[in-house]
Structure 1
Amino acid sequence: MVGLFGTTLSAHASFTGTIKDGYNTLSNNIAQTWDEPQNYDLYVPAITWHARFAYDKEKTDKYNERPWGAGFGISRWDDKGNWHGIYLMAFKDSFNKWEPIGGYGWEATWRPLADDNFHLGLGYTIGVTARDNWNYIPVPVALPMASIGYGPATFQMTYIPGTYNNGNVYFAWLRFQF
């Protein structure tokens, strides 16, 4: 019984340590991106697409899928070649109402061609958004992110999961680094 209890405590300590390490890495990356940006970024929302298999046609026929808007951010590339960014963007949502979003994004970046300007990314974004149909109450978000880019121009995207007639939205934007 003592061996089992000791193993449980050890596993708990290991899990707690992993969470602390992850939080410290995240905090340090955000702070370094804020304190030492290498680029200024312009964000231009490009497309919103509601997954047709997850919606009634009457709903998708009424939704806005042209998310007009813009955003600004700062970013850096770390010593592993991965991208870190802090951003604030506003765009027209599915109901054609303004939706702000701000947060931090990270992508592991691959340069699979001899031309290092071409890059692919896969990562996440965490932040806060607010919507008209939620009375602009701030809502935390944690979403997957992917990208394809060449030089200072990158096409980034995410998928907002959901239920039937809610969520299940592909959202993409262009990011230009200066």
Structure 2
Amino acid sequence: MKELNELEMKVLDLLKEDARMTPALLATLIGVDEVEIITAIAELESEHVIVKYAAVVNWSKVEDEKVTAQIEVQITPERGRGFEGIAERIYLYPQVKSVFLMSGAYDLLVEIEGRNLREVANFVTEKLSTIDSVLSTKTNFILKKYKQDGIIYEEQEEEPRLMISP
């Protein structure tokens, strides 16, 4: 695990807020030379600390009928590999967007996307549930996203103010 210096932490914090920030802007905001920023970013990318730059999309504003589900999965760990082998087997499916090892009532939280409910159901019954180590699944469909990764999706309406008259 890489121990980050103060400059690298500042770069990561700013890029997490807006990945489109240029090295010149980052240098200005942090108060260092642009070459230092370019070097820091290159090192963070080569060490796989920065793994991808991505846009955050509010899909509800687009005519796209994607269905997102979070599946709670209870599994029996594999001897010698624990949860790693099963998690890897699951995250290699293209419809799987995230896999998390959890504490609590279930072991893995799997987030998938499908074109419709049937596609998600087929994934759960034909692919996920058939893995030998999977004991049970519980599927929860995401109906609406209000906030994700610190980003509020819906614009908040201002409460109408009543006029005060003398």
TM-score (structure 1 length as normaliser): 0.26
The structure in which a higher percent of residues are helix is 2
Structure with larger Rg: 2
TM-score (structure 2 length as normaliser): 0.27
The structure in which a higher percent of residues are strand is 1
